[in-house]
């Protein structure tokens, strides 16, 4: 079943965004692929995907540089996210890291700046750096990545509520459904799923995904297992998905996945094949 209505998510600050965004992990690593990567991001922007997620860690700035090229002349069309490494989460180092990322990206501000994963640096120093960056207009808001329930609770003890918590979430990694996802939703913190369709391994060859894909069509043809996996993530009301599409063809498939509405029978079959958690699980990280 297809529809022209694409899923959206409204952040706590009132900004409404498409629930489908674009990841950039490993973009920029192969110079021969750069033109395809840039064009893929531009096609996504043309289709209104808006969110582009990158990080200083990705290729030591090479990914940010690809994003900067894709955004040249159209920065206002994007909701731009980058991430700071935990070893740069001290006050002075974070300010330098943010300025470095902005230079790579060719922009003067980020819409969202995330702490890539938990640091040994005290939260209060990192929070002070986030606030300074916001006061200086270098970032519009801040968030975290790879934070589990206890980490989020510790932040709340500081009276700090990130706009977004970016996590690994897919059919293969459902552990966060047990407590983290409901906890974040209750606190009006949006979750953002990285690697929502896996990394091209066994997941996309699973017979249940293949069978469900056979029953769905999109504007670009019969659905693929990857599109079903992505539609499954996009079904959640408080979830943004940021799959990487390094070629225009893959980007077109991701865009078309927004059309898919899984039936209750589909969801039941996926629950049987990829059971939801029944106990607390350690946060999975890639």
**DSSP per position, 69-83:** HHHTT-GGG-EEEEE
- Quote the percentage of the chain above a pLDDT of 70: 98
State the pLDDT at residue 2. Answer: 40
- Give pairs for 276-279: CB < 8 Å, separation 24+: 276/174, 276/177, 276/178, 277/174, 277/175, 277/177, 277/178, 278/178, 279/178
Find out whether 84 and 116 touch, Cβ atoms under 8 Å. yes
247 has pLDDT over 90? yes
- In angstroms, the CA 82 to CA 11 distance is 17
Stretch 18-31: mean pLDDT, rounded?
96
State the pLDDT at residue 4. Answer: 54
122-174 confidence digits (pLDDT tens): 999 999 999 999 999 999 999 999 999 999 999 999 999 999 999 999 999 99
User: In 10 A of CB 135, how many CB atoms?
Assistant: 9
Stretch 89-108: mean pLDDT, rounded?
98
State the pLDDT at residue 3. Answer: 43
Enter the pTM of the model.
0.95
1 has pLDDT over 80? no
- In angstroms, the CA 27 to CA 62 distance is 7
Tokens of 78: 């994007």
């Amino acid at each position: 079943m297809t529809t022209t209505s694409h899923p959206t998510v409204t952040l706590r600050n009132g900004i409404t965004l498409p629930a489908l965004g674009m990841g950039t992990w490993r973009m920029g690593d192969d110079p021969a692929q750069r033109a395809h990567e840039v064009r893929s991001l531009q096609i996504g922007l043309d289709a209104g995907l808006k969110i582009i997620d990158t990080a200083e860690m990705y290729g030591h700035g090479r990914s940010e540089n690809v994003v900067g090229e894709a955004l040249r002349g159209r920065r206002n069309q994007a909701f731009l996210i980058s991430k700071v490494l935990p070893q740069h989460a001290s006050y002075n180092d974070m300010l330098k890291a943010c300025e470095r990322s902005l230079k790579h990206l060719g922009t003067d501000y980020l819409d969202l700046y995330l702490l890539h994963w938990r640091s040994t640096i005290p939260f209060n120093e990192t929070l002070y750096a986030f606030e300074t960056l916001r006061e200086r207009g270098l970032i519009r808001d801040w968030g975290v990545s790879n934070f589990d329930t206890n980490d989020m609770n510790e932040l709340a003890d500081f009276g700090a509520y990130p706009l977004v918590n970016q996590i690994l979430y897919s059919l293969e990694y459902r552990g966060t459904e047990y407590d983290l996802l409901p906890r974040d939703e209750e606190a009006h913190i949006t979750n953002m799923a990285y690697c929502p369709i896996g990394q091209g391994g066994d997941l996309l060859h699973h017979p249940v995904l293949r069978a469900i894909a056979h029953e769905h069509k999109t504007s670009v043809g019969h659905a693929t297992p990857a599109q079903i996996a992505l539609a499954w993530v996009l079904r959640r009301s408080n979830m943004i998905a940021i799959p990487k599409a390094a070629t225009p063809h893959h980007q077109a498939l991701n865009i078309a996945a927004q059309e898919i509405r899984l039936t209750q029978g589909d969801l039941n079959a996926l629950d049987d094949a990829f059971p939801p958690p029944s106990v607390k699980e350690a946060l999975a990280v890639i």
